Chains A and B, each alone.
Chain A
Amino acid sequence: MKERAVLVLEDGTTYHGYAFGHRGKNVGEVVFNTAQTGYQEILTDPSYNGQIVVMTYPHQGNYGVNVFDMESNRPWVRGFVAREFSTYAAGPRAQQSLAEFMTEHGVVGLEGIDTRALVRKIREGGVLKGVIAHASHLGDPNYRFSQADLEALREEARTWKDIDGRDMTPEVSTPLPYQFPTFKGKRRIVVMDFGIKHAQMRYMAELGFELIVVPGKTNPAQIMALEPAGLFVSNGPGDPSMPRYAHETLWKLMGLLPTFGICLGHQLLGLAAGGRTFKLKFGHRGANHPVKNLLTGKIEITSQNHGYAVDPDSLKEFRPTHINLNDGTLEGMAHLRYPVFSVQYHPEACPGPHDSLYLFRRFLEEVEAFHGVTGMPVEKQRTDKLGV
């Protein structure tokens, strides 16, 4: 038989399965993702820093891993769980098997558990902390977990300082500013990196932006010194209320630059404008969430990955532009006076549908309008272009 492994939750619930990937042990917040494709993008999305991800689709690893589908330079998840991992990687794009990739990058995996039961538990009770441990970590590959082991693992999960009340972004943000390699680069923007996914930069670069990527902790003066035409605030992990420095930076820059925020960036903008955020029971993680654009009435199927949301009732200077049709939560907002807008979901997809790529074009239009390129009154343009 295969090497045994367990996932022990802080409440003591234990799932017995088999080891996969890097042999070892790790602790994290256990969340689930319902996307049926895109495990490599999920593994390497820095927003998962601190989390053990359970995939609801049973088969993972089917098409292997390649250099093109990296959303950052390494995986960030603290553990990866599926009903079954494939040992064979199919298709011409596969360069490495998922097993090799996870082993190489130290990602502990768990398979063979009733993932649906685990997901239902999270859905009912909210996210929980948990530990994945492999038999070989405690003894040898044939080791069988004792009751005492499971107790100890539970204690470890329980006492782990979770991601609430912690700023998780410095670990994933770039330590130094850099320029994203582009060929065109007409309009320079500053990208505040709180754990950015490469796809966001790829799409903006394709549109002709010159991207200067700076650490999330960069202050307003440093940003303005780069003479940007616009500001982009990236996604990132953890509790949005914790990077207080970012709220201040964004508050100071509000109105000075056309600004586009995604996910954590959206939450940070909301907080900067005096709004509130709250933690969702089990978050939105998947590639099938319907979002309605309130300005056009159009529906977009969106890629989502967030555990917190902006309370729409707390918005003062922003108005809602997008809502989630599943649960009515806020998915997008625009500033009442300035060309500042943001979405909670992931228009860059990766993984997920491309229904919302228009938002990057809209950002370009906002930047160009702000700088008078198109010669139309900015406010007029903004109402026309919102959501087109």
Chain B
Amino acid sequence: MPARTDIKKILIIGSGPITIGQAAEFDYSGTQALKALRSVGYEVVLVNSNPATIMTDPDLAEGTYLEPLTLEFLEKIIAKERPDALLPTLGGQTALNLAMQLYEQGILEKYGVELIGANAAAIKKGEDREEFQRAMLKIGLDVPRGKMVTSLEEGLEFARNVTGYPVVVRPSFTLGGTGGGIAADEAEFIEILSRGLSLSPTHSALVEESIVGWKEFELEVMRDHNDTVVIITSIENVDPMGVHTGDSITVAPAQTLSDVEYQKMRDAAQAIIREIGVETGGSNIQFAIDPKSGRMIVIEMNPRVSRSSALASKATGFPIAKIAALLAVGYRLDELPNDITQKTPASFEPSIDYVVVKIPRFAFEKFSTLPNTHGGFSDRLGTQMKSVGEVMAIGRTFKEAFGKAVRSLEADVRAEFAHLTDAELWARLYPSPTRIYAVLELLRRGASIDELYQATRIERWFLHQFEEVVQTERALGLGEWRLSDREDWRYAKGLGLSDARIGELVGVSEAVARKERLAAGAKPVYKTVDTCAAEFEAYTPYHYSAYEIEDEVRPTDKPKVVILGSGPIRIGQGVEFDYATVHAVWALREAGYETIMVNSNPETVSTDYDTADRLYFEPLTLEDVLNLTEHERPIGVIATLGGQTPLKLARKLSEAGVRLLGTSWEAIHKAEDRAEFNALCAELGIPQPKGAVARTPDEALRLAEQIGYPLMARPSYVLGGRAMQVVRSPEELQWYLSGIYAALSERPSILLDQYLEGALELDVDAICDGSRVVVAGIMEHIERAGVHSGDSATVLPPVSLTSEQLETVKTYTRKLALAVGVRGLINVQYALKDGVVYILEANPRASRTVPFVSKAIGHPLAKYAALIAVGKTLEELGFTADPTPGFYSVKEVLIPWLKFPGVIPVLGPEMRSTGESMGIDADPYLAYYRAEVGVNQKLPLSGKVRLIGAQALEAEWRAAGFEISDDDYDLLISLEAHPELRRAVESGRPFITTLEGARWSLEAIRRVRTSRLEARSLQEWHQVRA
């Protein structure tokens, strides 16, 4: 069957602000779908409130709506755009839930919009646990014994009589398992079930038998209209059942299933996708196997593309989202070519000849220090997803892939764990972000595989693999085995050991180890990800390194640029940096360069093999990047667009003779080094808050007296405001130094700065070609100083600055960019207090606000930066005047409070947000309102407001017609870290924690009452149609 011709315009819903459980993978899948659908001639309309994404680039759709993902806005957009079809399976749970609401409310029917990809009945059957389990039993598959309950009493009865404890609670229709958990006893059960019921939109939750400790597997399945069903890959979780698969270390393909077991699972997956009725597209199906009996049960299915499908796409080279989009409009798998082989069809099952390991990345340290209603913070992992990002690594063996993944993660705690006692290590074998390091350390100390299996239930096969690495480490450490020739080196490197680690074991530096390795002739070769285990020739340049014999990747003789990606997403280094690096690739490709992307993050657009001319899926470490640059010999490397990860490599790459394109290492250093930066500001006459650098805690206390309190204390060279704190007295500084600072693994210098209490903060993105500076965007923070810039709402252009002040900011920025020697982007932060503009810091690299500013001003800043890096001027780019947008753009942030039990939501100098929304309007307050709704802060237009520590606001809110309440409320304003804030989080009610937030919200509410909020696309705002 050919593509459908009765459909012309298709609506795609994105997944909104990045949050735990819905991250960059939906930017990747959405972008793929947009490109695929447009390439076959469909008109596409996109709705997504998240400006940090590639998919919301105005070039990628006919209409791009940066509007809140709510029923109300969706209906406005549908009424205006009149799409023929809605493809709901590419924007995660958010899009799927919205599509279901649109369907159930009759909106789709009203406007004649067809759901394609998955119909409502299938979505319901796949998502509703009770219906799903009934369907499984019907087709003869085994499921955990369980019951859907709608009350605590019902749950208790079932747990007491059927399952016993531990028992699992899974609330219906919540994102990423939010609100679920495993209850060890009745008390815990009551707590978890109560919360789960209240979080579920249907007030229901599944109570079921615990299968904690069972082996966990996933299959990625695709189906087309012709009922062809293929399995893209199997995935095995190293962490057994009990840890959300998003938080587990996983391996593709499955390692410990015999063909008989695997085919049984495959048969089940086929039966499931058919029974649930997913007509076209991809689904993820999870299974558990009892390690003792082999009993296989079905856990759940996601009738849409998912984080796992993004991983499966990157793991195999099979582009699930792209194919899913094409299947939804009527293509069949056998009609679509496999991009990689070009000659064979997509109706096959990838076979791979390498091993893929994924390790999640967590951000517990961001939340552990906040006040907590539970009395303490736990890093225990469970059925609710907690990780904020992930890395993937490819190796020829599990050991090699695992070693590469660990070094990609930038979170190895091996050195710290080496100092722990055996007892401390044994105590860390509960599921946590660092459990695997405890396992490895115990193996190094001679713990037996059986003991570790009993403690962790990690499949012994994996423990044996780790043991093999540890044995080699031991031999190297004892000098029993000397790396004498290429073969030895190849063996050791094939275990995934880094040069740094080998050096440490044999007592030399990383540089020396590298030199010896190269002297022995042991260089990595590059292999290709080809979907077919080399059976057919591959045309797609997607590569990984291995210590093998044959190098199959020949560098071309074209001028090449290597773009370093940003590695795993973490708080402070999110999808914004992927956006910037992808734009650089696009710009440089257009300019005729061969672009080479290096990254280790499977969720992103940058690691789509379709993005750069060549993709190397590699760790972003000095060793791996140097290997690559030696192999490819590019004209240079761009390290300033991917955030801190590549920036950290800049100096050593530069020292190793690699040319950095754009801003030089020396310039970066000038801005980052305190002393140099202070001198520069003094020379340029730019006021700075008083500050000092202390090398020891004692020195810090001494210097603090000289500057005076309050102070902002933080470690040097740390991104995202980690371990940053306002201290108001010597006692508080002492507390900071002995608590937060002492807990840091390295002991960086301590930066102390005069804290400008109540100052207005500004974020400026500017671009410089060496002789000209364009101030691209000035953002005014809505929250005052003390809130991390990444967590503050911002408005562009500013609303409270005088034109003189604006001019001052621009002048300072120009002077600074030229003096530092920036060739590309620079982000400068200012504070305005008592009429004086102070400079806080400058970062000569792409900032996290680049995509937001680019969309607000209608200029692709990262593209410009990449072109400047290869020698273009701003004049040549036609970007010479500071833009003055005719409307307001507001960015608001999303913080995943709900995922961290008991944590009381307050803003501070440590960044905690994972994502952001953008609101655009001719009126700044209406733009603010849209941005608020975009992060699900649904400001009530009337009703009850409860004020805590904010009695001063009472008159204003009362005057605006709100009832002031002491108990129940529609909006909570708490200026202190009150436990009620936690209840607001858990009940999904809007809350405000700052005075400025309250002021902006009230003004926004007033204006919304008298306005009609129209939906308007980015293309319309900028008066262009793509």
User: A interface vs B, CB < 8 Å?
Assistant: 1, 15-16, 32, 34-38, 40-41, 56-59, 62-63, 66, 68-69, 83-84, 86-88, 90-93, 112-117, 119-120, 123, 286-290, 292, 297-299, 301, 325-327, 349-354
Chain B residue at minimum C-beta to C-beta distance from A68? B260
- Whole-angstrom distance from the CB of A291 to the nearest CB of chain B? 9
Q: Is the interface of B mostly helix, strand, loop or mixed?
A: loop
**Can you add 17 more A-B contacts, CB < 8 Å, to A69-B260, A120-B552, A290-B347?**
A1-B491, A57-B533, A59-B255, A62-B255, A91-B291, A92-B292, A116-B533, A119-B534, A120-B550, A123-B537, A288-B350, A299-B334, A325-B334, A352-B263, A353-B266, A354-B266, A354-B267
Nearest CB in chain A: distance from B804 CB, A: 66
Contact B256 A91 (CB under 8 A): yes
Q: Which residues of B contact A354 (CB under 8 A)?
A: 263, 266-267
* Complex CA–CA separation, A325 to B336 (angstroms): 11
CA A223 to CA B533, docked complex, whole Å: 43
* B561 in contact (CB, < 8 A): no
Q: Are A59 and B355 in contact (CB under 8 A)?
A: yes
Residues of B near A69 (CB, < 8 A) are 258-260
| Neighbouring A residues of B535 by C-beta, 8 Å | 32, 34, 56, 119, 123, 286
Q: Which residue in chain A gives the minimum CB-CB distance to B267?
A: A354
Closest-CB distance, A120 to chain B (whole angstroms): 5
- Name the CB-closest residue of B to A351: B259
Contact status B258-A286, CB under 8 Å: no
Of all chain A residues, which has the CB nearest B290? A92
Task: List residues of chain A with CB within 8 A of the CB of B111.
Answer: none
Residue among A56, A119, A352 with the highest chain B CB neighbour number at 10 A: A56
**Contact between A289 and B262 (Cβ–Cβ < 8 Å)?**
no
Q: Number of B interface residues, CB 8 Å? A: 56
CA distance A117 to B293 in the complex (A): 39
B532 within 8 A of A: yes
Tell me which residues across on chain B come within 8 A of A326, comparing CB atoms.
343-345, 348, 536
**A37 in contact with B259 (CB, 8 Å):** yes
Specify which chain A residues have a CB less than 8 angstroms from the CB of B532 in the assembled complex.
34, 288
Complexed CA–CA distance, A15 and B354 (Å): 19
A88–B460 CB distance below 8 A: yes
**Chain B 394-416, CB within 8 Å of chain A: the 1/0 string?**
00111000000000000000000
The stretch that binds A, out of B223-231, B374-382, B733-741, is B223-231
Q: Is B624 in contact with chain A by the CB < 8 A criterion? A: no
| B266 contacts A63, C-beta separation under 8 Å | no
Are A88 and B461 in contact, with the CB atoms below 8 A? yes
A-B contact pairs, 9 of them (CB 8 A): A56-B535, A63-B261, A87-B464, A88-B461, A92-B292, A93-B258, A288-B350, A298-B227, A327-B344
Counting CB contacts under 8 A, is B1026 at the interface?
A: no
Contacts of A117 in B (CB 8 A): 548-550, 552
* Contact with B256, one of A63, A123, A299 (Cβ below 8 angstroms): A63
Please indicate the chain A residues that have their CB under 8 angstroms from the CB of B259 in the complex.
35, 37-38, 40-41, 69, 287, 349-352
Identify the 10 closest CB pairs spanning chains A and B, nearest first.
Answer: A38-B259, A117-B550, A56-B533, A351-B259, A90-B461, A90-B256, A37-B259, A114-B549, A299-B228, A288-B349
Q: How far is the CB of B239 from chain A (nearest CB, A)?
A: 16
Does the CB pair A58–B354 fall under 8 Å? yes
Within the complex, the shortest CB–CB distance from A337 to chain B, in Å, comes to 30
Report the minimum CB–CB distance from A143 to chain B (whole Å): 15
Min C-beta distance of B936 to chain A, whole Å? 42
- Give every chain A residue within 8 A of B350 (Cβ-Cβ): 288
- Residue pair B396, A58 in contact (C-beta under 8 Å): yes
Q: Are A91 and B533 interface neighbours, CB within 8 A? A: no
CB-CB under 8 A from A66, the residues of chain B are 258
Would you give the shortest CB distance from A58 to chain B, in whole angstroms? 5
Q: How far is the CA of A107 from the CA of B534 in the complex (A)?
A: 25
The reply to whether A83 and B536 contact each other, CB–CB distance below 8 Å, is: no
A349 CB contact (under 8 Å) in B263, B291, B334? B263
Instruction: Report the nearest B residue to A37, measured CB to CB.
Output: B259
Verify B257–A56 contact, CB threshold 8 A.
no
B880 within 8 A of A: no
Say whether, besides A57-B353, A119-B353, A299-B347, A86 and B461 are in contact (CB < 8 Å).
Answer: yes
Q: How far is the CA of A298 from the CA of B491 in the complex (A)?
A: 46
Complex contacts, B344 vs chain A, CB 8 Å: 290, 325-327
Give per-residue flags for B483-495: 1 if the beta carbon is below 8 A from chain A beta carbons, else 0.
Answer: 0000110010000
Min C-beta distance of B753 to chain A, whole Å = 53
Given A116-B534, A117-B550, A351-B259, CB of A88 within 8 Å of CB of B353: no
Contact status A119-B533, CB under 8 Å: yes
Cβ of B527 within 8 Å of any chain A Cβ, yes or no, is yes
Contacts A56-B534, A117-B548 hold; do A325 and B349 have CB atoms under 8 A apart? no
List residues of chain B with CB within 8 A of the CB of A352.
259, 263
Q: Which of A36, A37, A84, A353 is the most central at the interface, judged by chain B CB atoms within 10 Å of its CB?
A: A36
A351 to B343, CA, bound (A): 25
Contact B534 A299, beta carbon cutoff 8 Å: no
The answer to whether B349 and A114 touch across the interface, beta carbons within 8 angstroms, is no
Q: B817 near A: Cβ within 8 Å? A: no
Q: Does B253 count as interface, using CB distance less than 8 angstroms?
A: yes
Q: A38 — which chain B residues lie within 8 A by C-beta? A: 258-259
Give A18's nearest chain B residue, CB to CB: B491
Q: Which of B291, B397, B533 contacts A59 (CB 8 A)?
A: B397
User: Does B785 sit at the interface, judged by CB under 8 A?
Assistant: no
